[in-house]
């Protein structure tokens, strides 16, 4: 009997020891992978997160890895020395799923870093700015993801509906929605659903920033609930397919958008607002700014930039067939433009970036650029700056040396300048955040 008891304990002990061995072996293996990943990113100079990103409090973190598992991008977070870390900062695109999954409240989502500040307008949790009655949703407030922008547009409209105005006017609209990108589109549908008096203004074309993506660009999103329409189950699709879907929803719901309406100024009027465009003036109780962050394109400020061959966005790569093209920038739009044009037979494409690594671009885009470079289709020129532009050439400096390249077109993808002047004229506070929420 005693012998049988000892055998049973030996069996149980062996099983428990095996489980513990597998658990700790798996844990160590994952930690080693995270260490390797972190080292590779640091050696490549990919240390700056491009947008909203997590900061982990090591005093609260217990290394449960819930955040690692929750991140949709994979391999962005890892556990090292029993604490979660942001091991691949440049891959983080601000989903925020890590913060929601943390059971110990150890994660704060912030904008910018100690080295790189990000201008963010002041916005309360209900999307209202410091100016009562003016709300911000989507990319302008720092949320660049399509799914987040759509959700914010819907939520902001609920906050606007609940806002009590001191001034009652039958002539006033409930809200003027400025911008018809993802946030403005969703907000407009929500306003229709709630039978609000509203108008949606768009100075360019339907789709906002998405409409300016290069042809064929793959956009990542997640299933979302569009007001009136219901659940949209997109995950990965092209720009064209997504815009076509949005057009169908717009047409089926009867949503009206006023195009070519660039807002000139906003003036308060006794708890109401006058919104003046180049064509009309609207009286409204509330305003929702869903205008994105592109603002005015960031320029190079070099001689010759005023030439017609200098443009600030890519529409169709095929229009550059047979030409010498220089793309300038290190973000996703620059990389996407460079490798998509490089796929067109007969083009000569160079990509100039002032830094030593593409720290702000997604891994998929960096991989595509590297592949095009290896095939000899793309000339990547890191640590370089354009000095001047002439009708048929450009002068470029790289690591202290100068070179003259034949050139037919320059595509500058250096981002946009936040419409800070407009925001401040309206009275909205804008703060440069260096690693702050």
Please write down the HEC assignment for all residues of 76-133: CEEEECCEEEECCHHHCCCCCHHHHHCCCCCEEEEECCCCCCEEEECCCCCCECCCCC
Name, in order, each residue with C-beta under 8 angstroms of 111's C-beta and a sequence gap of 6 or more. Answer: 51, 52, 118, 120, 142, 433, 435, 436, 437
Residue 342 has a pLDDT of: 94
Instruction: Say if 2-110 and 297-415 have the same CATH topology.
Output: no
Nearest of 188, 190, 184 to residue 203 by alpha carbon: 184
Q: CA-to-CA distance for 259 and 269, rounded, in angstroms?
A: 25
Torsions phi, psi for 368 (to 5 deg): -65, -40
Q: CA-to-CA distance for 362 and 364, rounded, in angstroms?
A: 5
Residue 113 has a pLDDT of: 79
Going residue by residue through the chain, which has 437 residues, state the pLDDT in tens, using 9 for 90 and above.
Answer: 556 656 767 777 778 888 887 778 888 888 899 999 888 888 767 777 877 889 999 999 999 999 999 988 778 899 999 999 999 887 787 778 899 999 999 999 888 777 777 778 889 999 999 999 999 998 888 766 788 888 899 999 999 998 866 556 678 999 999 999 899 999 999 999 999 999 999 988 887 777 666 666 666 556 778 888 887 776 667 778 888 888 899 999 999 999 989 898 999 988 899 999 989 999 999 999 998 776 567 889 999 999 999 998 887 888 899 999 999 999 888 999 999 999 998 899 999 999 888 877 777 888 999 999 999 999 999 999 999 999 999 999 999 999 999 999 999 998 777 788 888 889 999 888 776 66
| Cβ neighbours around 356 below 10 Å, total | 12
The fold of the 297-415 domain, in CATH, is FAD/NAD(P)-binding domain (3.50.50)
- Between 3.50.50.60, 3.20.20.70, 1.25.40.10, 3.40.50.970, what CATH number should domain 119-295+418-433 receive? 3.50.50.60
Name, in order, each residue with C-beta under 8 angstroms of 272's C-beta and a sequence gap of 6 or more. Answer: 165, 167, 169, 172, 283, 284, 285
Torsions phi, psi for 171 (to 5 deg): -85, -15
Name, in order, each residue with C-beta under 8 angstroms of 331's C-beta and a sequence gap of 6 or more. Answer: 50, 360, 361, 413, 414, 415
281-302: b (≥16 Cβ within 10 Å) or e: ebebbbbbbbbbbbbeebebee
- What Cα–Cα distance (Å) separates residue 227 from each residue in 12, 240, 407? 56, 22, 48
Helix, strand, coil % over all residues of the chain, rounded to 5: 30, 30, 40
Residue 364 has a pLDDT of: 82
Adjacent-strand bridge partners of 220: 236
Residue 222 has a pLDDT of: 66
Q: What is the DSSP string of 302-352?
A: -BTTTSTTEES--S-GGGGTT-EEEEE-SSHHHHHHHHHHHTSTT-EEEEE
Residue showing tokens 């089926």: 252
Residue 240 has a pLDDT of: 80
Residue 127 has a pLDDT of: 94
Torsions phi, psi for 173 (to 5 deg): -75, 160
Alpha helices in 164-313 (DSSP H): 182-193, 239-253
Q: What is the largest CA-CA distance in the chain?
A: 97
Name, in order, each residue with C-beta under 8 angstroms of 151's C-beta and a sequence gap of 6 or more. Answer: 186, 224
- pTM (two decimals): 0.71
CATH architecture, domain 2-110: 2-Layer Sandwich (3.30)
Residue 210 has a pLDDT of: 75
Residue 199 has a pLDDT of: 97
Domains of the chain, by residue range, sit at 2-110, 119-295+418-433, 297-415
Residue 184 has a pLDDT of: 94
């Amino acid at each position: 009997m005693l012998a049988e008891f000892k055998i049973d304990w030996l069996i149980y002990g062996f099983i428990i020891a095996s489980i513990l061995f597998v658990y700790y072996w798996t844990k160590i293996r994952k930690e080693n992978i995270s260490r390797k990943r972190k080292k590779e990113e640091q050696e490549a100079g990919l240390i700056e997160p491009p947008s909203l990103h997590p900061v982990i409090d090591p005093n609260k973190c217990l290394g449960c890895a819930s955040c690692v598992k929750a991140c949709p991008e994979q391999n962005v977070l890892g556990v090292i020395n029993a604490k979660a870390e942001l091991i691949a900062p440049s891959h983080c695109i601000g989903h925020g799923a890590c913060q929601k999954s943390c059971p110990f409240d150890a994660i704060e989502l912030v904008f910018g870093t100690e080295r790189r500040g990000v201008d963010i307008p002041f916005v309360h949790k209900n999307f209202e700015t410091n100016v009562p009655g003016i709300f911000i949703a989507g990319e302008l407030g720092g949320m660049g993801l399509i799914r987040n922008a759509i959700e914010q547009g819907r939520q902001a409209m609920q906050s606007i509906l609940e806002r009590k105005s001191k001034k009652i006017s039958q002539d006033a609209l409930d809200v003027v929605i400025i911008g018809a990108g993802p946030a403005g589109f969703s907000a407009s549908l929500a306003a229709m659903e709630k039978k609000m008096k509203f108008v949606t203004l768009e100075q360019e074309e339907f789709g906002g920033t998405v409409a300016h993506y290069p042809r064929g660009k793959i956009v990542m999103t997640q299933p979302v609930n569009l007001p009136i329409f219901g659940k949209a189950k997109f995950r990965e699709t092209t720009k064209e397919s997504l815009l076509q879907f949005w057009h169908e929803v717009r047409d089926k719901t009867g949503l009206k958008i006023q195009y070519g309406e660039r807002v000139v100024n906003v003036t308060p009027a006794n708890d109401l607002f006058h919104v003046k465009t180049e064509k009309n003036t609207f009286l409204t109780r509330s305003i929702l700014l869903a205008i994105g962050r592109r603002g005015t394109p960031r320029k190079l400020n070099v001689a010759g930039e005023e030439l017609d061959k200098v443009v600030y966005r890519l529409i169709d790569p095929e229009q550059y067939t047979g030409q010498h093209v220089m793309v300038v920038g290190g973000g996703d739009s620059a990389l996407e433009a460079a490798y998509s044009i490089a796929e067109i037979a007969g083009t000569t494409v160079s990509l100039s970036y002032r830094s030593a690594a593409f720290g702000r671009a997604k891994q998929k885009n960096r991989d595509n650029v590297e592949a095009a470079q290896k095939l000899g289709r793309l000339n990547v020129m890191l640590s370089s700056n354009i000095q001047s532009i002439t009708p048929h050439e450009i002068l470029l400096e790289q690591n202290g040396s100068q070179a003259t390249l034949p050139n037919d077109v320059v595509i500058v993808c250096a981002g946009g300048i936040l419409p800070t002047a407009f925001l401040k004229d309206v009275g909205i506070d804008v703060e440069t955040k260096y690693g702050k929420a």
